[in-house]
Structure 1
Amino acid sequence: MSNKNKPVHALRSVRPKKHKSNARNPGTVLACTAMQSFVCGTLLCVLLLCGFAFLLANTPLPLSLVRPFSCLAAAAGVALSSLFFSKKIGQRYLLCGVLCGLFYAACQLTAFFVMQGPAFWQNGSLLMAAVLMMSGLFGGAFAAARSVH
């Protein structure tokens, strides 16, 4: 009885297996975290803007409250974004909050400059930028306070 006619099966594959690592590139993790925090903050800002628009349309509130409501919605979005970003990064909470605030303030100043030209400094855009930076810092500080407990 000979085993010469039976096919031979390899126990292991000829190709070496690639080990999948759970550790991802830190740059990719940072970019994904930044994108997720941007989406969260933007969604909150849009929801608040819709709510404030509904409130202004259906109540006898004066339309002069449009600018404060929009500032409040943007500040809440930035605070949530910096809170989410700081918690996901897990270290240097205040720096993460300030960076989020600076990003949103730079975006806001750029948008004002594109829309209004060089005269955008006169319309309170610097105050709005300061509010965005402070709300980013607030989100980072809140994340730092929550991480201590």
Structure 2
Amino acid sequence: EEFDMLMNIHLKGVFFLTQALLPLINDSGRIINVSSGLARFSVPGSSAYAMMKGGVEVFTRYLAKELAGRRITANTVAPGAIATDFNGGHVRDDAEINRVVAGMTALGRAGVADDVGPMIASLLSDDNRWVNAQRIEVSGGMNI
């Protein structure tokens, strides 16, 4: 039941929402999907979620190729551990987990939402019109 819920949100939801919105996206538009650092490194207990995020990354590359005729770019932003409500707020609310994350991150801290938003905004700008089919990790250098 939990697997199906994750699948519906993190993979099927992305696929079917994109399918529904494609007729509304202008030519030369942008698609930005969200993955996770967990698609690059392994944390026990996260395999189902991580494989779905990996599927989003593959889907995004296919979108970039399939929508090239409309000049629509498709990229994936993959945040590292971000101090939000995600996963019960553990990174944000548990000082020990936050400390562990900071120790695994080159920049020495867990991320915050304001670390991810500017990357997404930059991908939406015309300045990045040539960025396509990329996975861009926004993690402060987590697990490098």
Q: Shorter-chain-normalised TM-score: which range?
A: 0.3 to 0.5
Larger Rg: 1
